[in-house]
Amino acid sequence: MFVQGGALGALAVVAALAAVSGRRFLLAVVYPVTALAAIALGVVDLAIWLGGGGFAAVLPIGLPTIGLHLRLDQLSAFFGVVINGGVLAASLYGMGLDRAKELTPRVEPLFPLFAAAMNLVLIADDAYAFLFSWELMSLTSWAMVVAHHTNAENRRAGHLYLVMAAIGTTALLFAFGGLAGPAGGYAFDTIRTQAPTPLIAALVLATALVGCGSKGGLIPLHAWLPLAHPAAPSHVSALMSGVMTKVAIYGFVRIAFDLLGPPAWWWSLPPIVLGAITAVLGLLYAVFDRDLKRVLAYSTVENVGVIFVALGLALAFRANGQPAAAAVAMAAALLHILNHSWFKSLLFLGAGAVLHVTGRRDLEGMGGLIHRMPRTAVFFLVGALSISALPPLNGFVSEWLLFQSVIAAPALPQSALNFAAPAIGAMLALAAALAAACFVRVYGVAFLGRPRSVEAARAHEVPLVQQIAMGGLALLCILGGLLGALLTGALAPVLKGLVGSELPNAGTGPTPFSLIAFDASRSNYDAVVIALFVAIASVAALLVVHRLSARRTRRGPAWDCGFPDPSPAIQYSASSFSQPLRRVYGAVVFSARETVVMPPPGDLQPARFSVALIDYIWTTLYIAPWRALLRLSERLNALQFLTIRRYLVLMFAALVILLSIAAVTI
């Protein structure tokens, strides 16, 4: 507790110092201090997650009469590890920022505050403290989103972001209002003792889904995310995407699994359905986008969807008294939360490195970076393969657990969930395949091939400390993949707290690294054995090939069916890579239309090709209401320009209406 207090205090102090002085030196000090604080917080969290314990405190501040309730239990501690890991990586990356060019009082003072706010959400133990730090988290990140304020796009992104955040917070206000009841029992302990009525429970679930979903990027509440996350400086994007979305999920887990009491089976349907749609649509957005950071942000949307599916399944199993299956689904969710925080932070930091050295976010201007930034390229590759859920990296472990729980869903008594299971399974598989396509595209276009712009050709490696930040995360991705079974085993205390059971046969496999969902005869995955197998097979193949083959290698121009063109423009671009997917999915989901303008023979004008995608969610759920709002406000604005006599008419009408009502009702 003292560590927590001290670390959070240090964050606040360094933020205040940096804000007040604005000197470069103090701005630069922010990152080492945040890194140290993150280490301190993370170590405490790790100890509590694995060892139990934790603390609870009530401070005489916060909401009047309720006080500030703080508690660090194992669930919070687990999320604390997720968050502080991301904060540590982002701070390390921040330490490599160019002191003269990249530090600004618009970002650096807010960075530690943002980190502190996220930690506060986790230890908040009453509704006020929770929402207070939740909104503080939005606010600080908003300020960093609009840090590059001269860009109108960023301002728009910031506006949309904070408005959506406010909508989400309002929804959560309702959720906690429903939980606390009319008497105002805002402390979580009080809430746990109250059983809400079915109607209130349903409303709380719905509002919690809206509140946490909008922060996490659940479609259709996602629209701000791909705009705001990329607008912030890259290490902040990494925090927002890799970590802040996890805080959103924490909120949902806390409400749905802890505060709301025993679930009803149908609670699971909204998160499952929305999550599955989010998973698929998120990637479809990603795969058609050309902005590197936006692609990553959309991929975050997808992963949040996947996590919500897992949470929904956990709810369904729990409601049906199948704690073991619930534990599998919950383990999938928690593990994916951890994994995603690692690889998404890694990818955003990599994108930041690319952005820093090329000054570009547009994929079409990149290419060949694997030669100019060899280490970053390796780290990014690890991240890209991890996020595509490919074995033996970490993304696959959680994906595998999730598939196992989907496979168990047909055994549930409710036919709605039975029939949902295959659809969900297929959608998750589609999402996984799309993720692979998406990241092959990103990596292939950005890092492979030949440079498509001067900036890309002049790229260089980033400072060592940033490489360490990325390398550390890449290592975690690999270790997390190999030691997934051990990690899953470590989740046991958290799982017990949430669903009342741990994985039924964890640790009974042939090796300690065997991941067993239900029991060994049913399903099993052993990353270490597979990795060893693959390693042995590759070494064997290499040995054999080297023994047998000519071993001669010659460098020559690319073959390309005999028509090599030296221009890098001839390469497959990001847009052309997505063309097959656009034809298959884009036509259905986004009414994608391709137009080719071919000049007549003899005309020297270039032919033009353009693609039009319509984002129906954006046009119907965002643009249309916004226009309606503006139209209505314009209509109402006529009331600003009335004559005094007409204002008197309004007053008179109000009086007469009230009097008439009185005449009828008295």
Backbone angles phi, psi at 57, to 5 degrees: -150, 150
Please state whether beta strands 514-515 and 68-72 pair in parallel, antiparallel, or not at all (unpaired): unpaired
Residues in binding contact with other proteins, number by CB under 8 A: 165
**Cβ-based nearer residue to other proteins, 30 or 117:** 117
Q: Which of residues 155-184 bind other proteins (CB under 8 A)?
A: 155, 158-159, 162-163, 166-167, 170, 173-174, 176-178, 180-184
SS3 category, 595? strand
Residue from 443, 459, 481, 484 binding other proteins (CB under 8 A): 443
d(C-alpha 183, C-alpha 412), whole Å? 38
Residue in the block written with tokens 């190999």: 482
Least Å distance, CB 535 to other proteins, is 8
CB contact at 8 A, 49 and 78: yes
Q: Is 186 in the site for other proteins (CB under 8 A)?
A: yes
Eight-state DSSP code of residue 517: S
The answer to whether residue 394 forms part of the interface with other proteins (CB under 8 A) is no
Q: x/- site string to other proteins, residues 50 to 69, per CB under 8 A? A: ----------xxxxxx----
Cα–Cα distance, 369 to 356 (Å, whole number): 13
Choose the stretch contacting other proteins; rule: CB under 8 A; options: 230-238, 352-360, 441-449, 487-495: 441-449
633 near other proteins, judged by CB under 8 A: yes
- Using the Cα atoms of residue 436, residue 441, residue 444 and residue 446 in order, give the sign of their dihedral: negative
Token pair for residue 567? Answer: 């221009």
> CB under 8 A: which stretch of 84-92, 593-601, 613-621, 642-650 binds other proteins?
642-650
> Does 133 help bind other proteins (rule: CB under 8 A)?
yes
Q: Is 9 an interacting residue with respect to other proteins (CB under 8 A)?
A: no
Q: Which is nearer to other proteins, 95 or 180 (CB)?
A: 180
644 secondary structure, DSSP code: H
* Residues 225, 162 contacting (CB under 8 angstroms): no
| CB 78, min distance to other proteins, A | 25
Query: Considering only residues 2, 100, 198, 559, which one is a binding residue for other proteins as defined by CB under 8 A?
Result: 559
Compute the distance between CA of residue 173 and CA of residue 167 in angstroms, rounded to an integer.
Answer: 10
Residue 175, both tokens:
């959720």
In the complex, the smallest distance separating the C-beta of residue 380 from other proteins, rounded to whole angstroms, is: 12
Q: Which stretch in 71-79, 80-88, 197-205, 268-276 sits in contact with other proteins by CB under 8 A?
A: 197-205
Amino acid of residue 632: L
Give the contacts of 666 (CB within 8 A, at least 6 positions apart): none
Each residue 398-427 as x (binds other proteins by CB under 8 A) or -, in order, gives: -xx--xx-xx--x-------xx-xx--xxx
- Shortest distance in whole angstroms from residue 46 CB to other proteins: 28
| Rounded distance between C-alpha atoms, residue 61 and residue 137, angstroms | 19
Query: CA-to-CA distance for 244 and 497, rounded, in angstroms?
Result: 23
Question: Residue 545, interface with other proteins (CB under 8 A)?
Answer: yes
Looking at residues 65 to 124 of the shown chain, list those that interact with other proteins (rule: CB under 8 A): 65, 105-106
Interface residue with other proteins, options 78, 93, 128, 257 (CB under 8 A): 128
C-alpha angle with apex 378: 377 to 379, nearest 5 degrees?
A: 95
Phi, psi of 109 (to 5 degrees): -65, -25
Residue 101 vs 547, nearer CB to other proteins: 547
**Distance in Å, CB of 136 to other proteins, minimum:** 5
- Rounded to a whole number of angstroms, the minimum distance from the CB of residue 194 to other proteins is 10
57 has which bridge partners?
Answer: 70
Residues 351-390 that bind other proteins (CB under 8 A): 367-368, 370-371, 381, 385, 388-390
Residue 496 CB, nearest approach to other proteins (Å): 26
Beta-carbon contacts of 516 under 8 Å, excluding residues fewer than 6 positions away, are 485, 503, 505, 506, 507, 508, 509, 523, 524
- Position 623 contacts other proteins (CB under 8 A): no
